[in-house]
Chains A and B, each alone.
Chain A
Amino acid sequence: MSKKLISFIDITKSYGDNIVLDELNLYVRENEFITLLGPSGCGKTTTLRILGGFETPDHGRVIFDGKDITCLPPNERNLNTVFQKYALFPHMSIAENIAFGLKIKKKSRDYIEDKIRYALKLVNLEGFGDRSVDSLSGGQQQRIAIARAIVNEPKVLLLDEPLGALDLKLRQDMQYELIRLKNELGITFVYVTHDQEEALTMSDTIVVMNQGYIQQIGTPEMIYNEPVNAFVADFIGDSNILDGIMVQDRVVSVLGVKLPCVDEGFGSNRPVDVVIRPEDVEIVAPEDGFMEGDITSVIFKGVHYELDILVNGYEWLVHTTQLYAVGQHVGIRVIPFNIQIMNKPESEDEEAVEIDA
């Protein structure tokens, strides 16, 4: 494992009465692609701006490469930001934009020329150096913003929803380009998005946040397959989240039916949240399932069909590659391994409370 490059220690930040971050603790390893993921207003941008030096936390420290940088201004930090709205300098050509940071560092003219050419090549915009900012499309501007940041060879690149303004196709292309860049350059990426698919595709590590608290930290697989609570499960992909009762170890009761599962240690007769991913639900003949119900809707989604199946008043979301008809009576079953059991939050608020990893 590579070493810790950045640590956030007990970071608290509030605007007036609004506590945006509450005792946030997080570290970033060298060369990691780490993504802050969460719904709008959960404090992702604030976290990134604290790292970039544009905000100072009320409490807590930011350690970068062993040094406390909490109070260091942005221009003295060895990291660069790609802003959501590109923030290119409108009065400069593309080449001048890219050269800006290097000129400040008083690099030689040859070095700067080389770097401009190299950076434009890296973002697939060779020959754009003399163009004006206005003459570029959104995606091209975004790539220039990335080029402008990486020519400075920062240790860390911060990106705040850099693909937010782009259309789906371009966004996917850019995702691959960013991953390629990261691998080519060997820099640490701290990435902010509220798009869970983007996070799953690109990240080494995902940090799921809600209302200023970290909900879960883990690899995309961990976050997707083993969400620690209903919030994470709900936020990462579609899921069926049901109220259940843990009858005893390895047996959970859902919608009045007892199911075998693999979880232990919840005690007996405890209320729990049960999460089952739609692709883990199997459709079988009515008599073979552990529940039966009627299909209420079928939507074609390209790779699969998305079905709603009404069982005992609960509408199951099911993904299948086979075509069924609306109104068909079917049975459903789930293998024990695919049933996720999670403690219920004690109160509404606790959904947002920090979970011990």
Chain B
Amino acid sequence: MRRLMRQLLAGPYLVWIAGFIILPVGVILYYAFTTADGAFTFAHIAAIADPVHVKSILLSLKLGLSCTVVCLLLAYPLAMILSSFRFRHQSFVVFLFILPMWMNFMLRILSWRLILANSGIINALLVRLGFGPVKLLNTPATVVFGMVYDFLPFMILPIYNSMTRIKDDIIEAARDLGAGNLTILAKIIFPLTVSGIISGIIMVFVPALTSFVISDLLGGGKVLLIGNVIEQEFMQGTNWNLGSGLSVVLMIFVIASMAVMNIFDKDGGGAAVW
């Protein structure tokens, strides 16, 4: 009886899982493997081999990786500084870094559009200094910049969390045994934050790989990521079948990259995002 009650409690979640996860994925798969008149086809999956699509998925991987690497390089030292500060307002400072996450993300990107535009603040400054207007918008670098700006907190948080879990006496023990700062970083802090790093990488790389809004707004249609291609198939080309096919391929890329990361994650800290 108690068991039955407990299973009933799981009911709403099962409905949720069925309605909002399994059903949509099923629909996507259906579209991906059928033609417009419902016949089975493999063509939409194979369409990834189209040079245009190959180019955009390679670009997506390239920009996604760049964004992840930049985020990691920025976030790791930052998280280390944040967690080593033993001052009173530590959690407030962390909160400051997280704060932008709570602001509408379109708004944040749009504001960068204005700042970086040919007539924007930065260029106004550059003109004043005699460097003439520089084309800042609509380049892959700007798209990466926007992604980093947007996703950085997702890298900082898990790394920061794993760092605060390292107890002081572990560090002191290492120092006691003769370890200098570099050894402590390499042999103690880094290994103990691997799971945080992996969570961070997944949480940044996956949205960066699939993003299309940032490249739309800061790339001005010149930077065509796989996300943009899919979006166009749905919104403009109205070829839902092709869009779904490419989505499925993208999903395979995402799952593959997460599986690769999982190999490095020995203690399962990154499992939280699976």
Instruction: Name the one of B170, B172, B178 contacting A152, with C-beta atoms under 8 angstroms.
Output: B178
**B167 contacts chain A at the CB level, 8 A cutoff:** yes
**A266 contacts chain B at the CB level, 8 A cutoff:** no
The stretch of A82-90, A191-199, A246-254, A314-322 in contact with B is A82-90
Residues of B within 8 A of A201 (CB): none
Residue of B whose beta carbon sits closest to that of A91: B191
**A244 contacts chain B at the CB level, 8 A cutoff:** no
A74–B176 contact, CB under 8 A? yes
Residue of B whose beta carbon sits closest to that of A77: B176
Residues of B within 8 A of A104 (CB): 177-179, 183
**A220 contacts chain B at the CB level, 8 A cutoff:** no
**A100 contacts chain B at the CB level, 8 A cutoff:** yes
Residues of B within 8 A of A54 (CB): 172, 175
**A148 contacts chain B at the CB level, 8 A cutoff:** yes
**A101 contacts chain B at the CB level, 8 A cutoff:** yes
B170–A74 contact, CB under 8 A? no
**A212 contacts chain B at the CB level, 8 A cutoff:** no
B172–A100 contact, CB under 8 A? no
Chain A, 255-280, contact with B by CB distance < 8 Å: what is the 0/1 string? 00000000000000000000000000
**A105 contacts chain B at the CB level, 8 A cutoff:** yes
A152–B177 contact, CB under 8 A? yes
**B37 contacts chain A at the CB level, 8 A cutoff:** no
B192–A91 contact, CB under 8 A? yes
Contact residues, B246-274 vs A (CB, 8 A): 266-267
Residues of A within 8 A of B178 (CB): 75, 101, 104-105, 152
Tell me the smallest distance from the CB of B5 to a CB of chain A, in Å. Answer: 35
Of listed B173, B188, B266, residue having the most chain A CB within 10 A: B173
Chain A, 200-233, contact with B by CB distance < 8 Å: what is the 0/1 string? 0000000000000000000000000000000000
Chain A, 26-54, contact with B by CB distance < 8 Å: what is the 0/1 string? 00000000000000000000000000101
**A142 contacts chain B at the CB level, 8 A cutoff:** no
**B51 contacts chain A at the CB level, 8 A cutoff:** no
Per the bound structure, the CA–CA distance linking A75 and B173 in Å amounts to: 10
**B169 contacts chain A at the CB level, 8 A cutoff:** yes
B177–A83 contact, CB under 8 A? no
B169–A74 contact, CB under 8 A? no
**B213 contacts chain A at the CB level, 8 A cutoff:** no
Residues of B within 8 A of A101 (CB): 177-178
Residues of B within 8 A of A52 (CB): 176
Instruction: Name the one of A73, A87, A91, A100 contacting B169, with C-beta atoms under 8 angstroms.
Output: A87
Per the bound structure, the CA–CA distance linking A80 and B172 in Å amounts to: 11
**B130 contacts chain A at the CB level, 8 A cutoff:** no
Residues of B within 8 A of A148 (CB): 177
**A81 contacts chain B at the CB level, 8 A cutoff:** yes
Chain B, 178-212, contact with A by CB distance < 8 Å: what is the 0/1 string? 11100100011001100000000000000000000
**B101 contacts chain A at the CB level, 8 A cutoff:** no
B172–A83 contact, CB under 8 A? yes
Contact residues, B120-169 vs A (CB, 8 A): 167, 169
Per the bound structure, the CA–CA distance linking A35 and B24 in Å amounts to: 69
Residues of A within 8 A of B172 (CB): 54, 74, 81, 83, 87
A81–B173 contact, CB under 8 A? yes
Contact residues, A63-106 vs B (CB, 8 A): 73-75, 80-81, 83, 85, 87-91, 100-101, 104-105
Residue of A whose beta carbon sits closest to that of B177: A101
Per the bound structure, the CA–CA distance linking A197 and B102 in Å amounts to: 58
Tell me the smallest distance from the CB of B159 to a CB of chain A, in Å. Answer: 16
Residue of A whose beta carbon sits closest to that of B166: A90
Per the bound structure, the CA–CA distance linking A90 and B167 in Å amounts to: 11
Tell me the smallest distance from the CB of A55 to a CB of chain B, in Å. Answer: 11
Contact residues, A141-191 vs B (CB, 8 A): 148-149, 152
**B80 contacts chain A at the CB level, 8 A cutoff:** no
B170–A87 contact, CB under 8 A? yes
Instruction: Name the one of B167, B170, B177, B183 contacting A80, with C-beta atoms under 8 angstroms.
Output: B177
Residue of A whose beta carbon sits closest to that of B181: A75
A75 with B167: in contact, given A81-B173, A87-B172, A90-B192 (CB under 8 Å)?
no
**B174 contacts chain A at the CB level, 8 A cutoff:** yes
Per the bound structure, the CA–CA distance linking A152 and B177 in Å amounts to: 8
Residues of A within 8 A of B266 (CB): 91
Residues of B within 8 A of A73 (CB): 175
Q: List 5 A-B contacts (CB under 8 A).
A: A75-B176, A75-B178, A75-B180, A83-B172, A87-B169
List 19 other contacts, CB 8 Å, given A81-B172, A101-B178: A54-B175, A74-B176, A75-B176, A75-B177, A75-B179, A75-B180, A80-B177, A83-B172, A83-B173, A87-B170, A87-B172, A89-B170, A89-B174, A90-B192, A91-B192, A100-B179, A101-B177, A148-B177, A149-B176
Interface residues of B, Cβ cutoff 8 Å to A: 167, 169-170, 172-180, 183, 187-188, 191-192, 266-267
**Cβ-closest 10 pairs across A and B:** A101-B177, A87-B173, A87-B169, A104-B178, A74-B175, A91-B191, A81-B176, A75-B178, A83-B169, A75-B175
